[in-house]
Amino acid sequence: MTIDNEDQLDKLRAVGALVARTLAAMGAALEPGMTTRELDDIGRALLEAEGARSAPELTYDFPGATCISVGPDCAHGIPGDTVIKAGDLINIDVSAELDGFFGDTGASFSVPPTTKRIERLCRDGRRAMWAGIRAVRPGGRLNEIGRSIEAFADRNGYSLVRNLASHGVGRSLHDAPKEIPTWHEPRDRRVITEGLVFTIEPFLSLGADWVEELDDGWTLRPPGREATVQYEHTLVATRNGPLVLTLA
């Protein structure tokens, strides 16, 4: 989606703020002993209280309001009876539709006590995302985002999952442009246009460069079970730089 007017921007800001608040509340509620379904129920209640609908439910008939993955799973986890334990690495992905517009955000959380290695992975997952965000400028190439993220990962000894990518968002959950690599793809010649709405969401890992789908048809896990984190914002490319819509 490319924004045409201020009304569209206002509506994208509204849904972006809502998913950001929901993610922050779910992260704050995380504690050992609760189930992922109980955590999902918190997210559902917050979205529905504002008149929003879960985007994965609406778009893909996903069996939950949000995606909650317990490590080594790293994406598209189905909320259920899994009990969260101390030391778990949890990914929460929140996306919603409000007034015809979609917002998408996500983050990984380590449940204390945790190791210094996992704390560093979470910190650097956020840094990798922001390295990509800082590369956004109208007229620049989309692959500069992946170039910046990959450079960060290489400098700090991480790998990037290469079968999960960022994407356009706005009028639908997965809008044009489709599949924006979070690694450098030199053959990608697409240009960032002013007003373009999309996500940036690298999956930074302690060795994984691929994930596989489990038998439930949704959950994604590195075959080597390597710890992997994801951080995601929705943003708009403006002449003044990237405008992040999903800050709490």
- Alpha-carbon dihedral angle through residues 112, 80, 16, 169, given to the nearest 10 degrees: 120
- Residue 57 CA to residue 217 CA, distance in Å, equals 15
Nearest to residue 244, comparing CAs of 203, 204, 199, 201? 199
Task: Determine whether the annotation assigns residue 104 to a binding site.
Answer: yes
**Does 184 belong to an annotated binding site?**
no
Cα distances from 80 to residues 24, 37, 46, 230, in angstroms, run 20, 5, 18, 21
Q: Is 241 left (phi over 0), alpha (psi -120 to 50) or beta?
A: left
Strands 101-110 and 89-98 come out as: antiparallel
Query: Strand pairing partners for 97?
Result: 53, 102
**Residues contacting residue 87 through CB under 8 Å, at least 6 positions apart:** 110, 111, 112, 113, 114
Yes or no: say if 43 and 28 are a contact pair by the CB < 8 Å rule. Answer: no
Sequence-distant (≥ 6) Cβ neighbours of residue 215 within 8 angstroms: none
Sign of CA dihedral 135, 138, 140, 146: positive
Q: Binding residue per annotation — 167?
A: yes
Please give the annotated binding residues for a divalent metal cation, written as ranges: 93, 104, 167, 201, 232
Please give the annotated binding residues, written as ranges: 76, 93, 104, 167, 174, 201, 232
Please give the annotated binding residues for substrate, written as ranges: 76, 174
